[in-house]
Homo-oligomer: A and B are copies of this chain.
Amino acid sequence: MKRKITLKHIARELDVSISTVSKALKNSEEISRETKEKIQAFAKLYNYKPNNIAISLKNKRTKNIGVIIPDIVHHFFTTVFRGIEKYANDKGYNVIVCVSDESFDKEVINMEMLANGSIDGFIMALSAETQLKNDYNHLKQVTDQGIPLVLFDRVTDEVNCDKVIIDDQAAAHMAVSKMIADGRQRIALVTTEDYLNVSSKREEGYRKALEEHNLPVREELILRLPYQYEDEKLSEVFFATQEVDAVLCVNEIFAVRTIRFLEDNDLRVPSDVSVIGFTDGILSRLSNPTLSSVAQHGEEMGTIAAKMLIDKVESDIEEGEEEYRTEVVEATLIERESTRSS
């Protein structure tokens, strides 16, 4: 077992000072070619690599970024994470992930844990509970300390920082308009019952699109389901009493369930009812029929978020003139079988 070698070891071994070794390994002009070669050869031989922790302490820069997301087993977040990770890695940063599990407390604990020197900045999506409580002191504390923060998808106006979002309202509007253009008239909305910022924006877009096309907004056609619902009972009640010819769902899972439910009730998708979901993930591509859905371009969001963060981290504006940006990523509608206007 060859323990990690340090500058000190090399210095002792080669009978030079630590600073000489340090400089030699950085190819400093100050050191004679001869000594440099000797030292470099030795270092190579023993596979010397500087200790990141020591460098972090010295530079007050960890080259780590902290990512806090509500759930990792969730296609969208996972996709954003991939974007973050790729960009960050390219820039020489590592990514520390913490999962808040939609819990306010865990979010706070994780942030505090990381804020004590472990990371240079945060990228996060708020937990559902945090949005519900509307308590953002932990975020403010972090920004007050001068730690850069980028919020994505689940954001809040309460905190001053960079943000990356998709225009959920416009996206829902687009989806509903498409259905209307396809001749659909009774369009239902299946959304979450939790108060999530994104859901309500999507609902706004849904309402607006109907209104603009002079279609009535029927509250009975808006179904609110618990975030992780497992029973289709609710949906049965809903569809049994209503005639719908199109459904917009705020996520993939609701959409796939809806399709299944419709087919079990002898309604064909898309001929009888067309369905559009949000989150263009694996389910959309592989459901039967395949699901038209609003792509949120998570990877792109992740890339943008990482870029914004790293730019801030590496800029030395420090007490920056509070110049925060909000990037809006265009959502696109991926059309598949569930809306074929056949």
Chain B residue at minimum C-beta to C-beta distance from A89: B98
- A237 interface residue per 8 A CB criterion: no
A211 to B115, CA, bound (A): 59
Partner of A96, one of B96, B257, B263, B282: B96
| Contact yes or no, B96 A94, CB < 8 A | yes
Q: Which residues A2-41 have CB closer than 8 A to chain B?
A: 2-4
Contact B98 A146 (CB under 8 A): no
Q: A64 to B116, alpha carbons, bound, how many Å? A: 14
Do A82 and B72 contact each other (CB < 8 Å), given the known contacts A118-B52, A253-B286? yes
Task: List, in ascending order, chain B residues with CB within 8 A of A110's CB.
Answer: 89
Which chain B residues lie closer than 8 Å to A1 at the CB level? 144-146, 319
Count of chain A residues with a beta carbon within 8 Å of a chain B beta carbon: 55
CB of A199 closer than 8 Å to a CB of B = no
* Complex contacts, A56 vs chain B, CB 8 Å: 53
24 inter-chain pairs at a CB distance below 8 angstroms, sorted by A residue, are A4-B145, A50-B116, A51-B116, A52-B116, A53-B62, A53-B117, A57-B57, A72-B72, A72-B78, A73-B75, A73-B79, A78-B78, A81-B97, A85-B99, A89-B110, A94-B113, A94-B118, A95-B97, A96-B96, A97-B97, A253-B282, A256-B288, A282-B282, A283-B283
Could you list which residues of chain A lie within 8 angstroms of chain B, going by C-beta atoms?
A: 1-4, 47, 49-54, 56-57, 62, 64, 72-73, 75, 78-79, 81-82, 85-86, 89, 94-99, 110, 112-118, 141, 144-146, 253, 256-257, 259-260, 263, 282-283, 286-288, 319
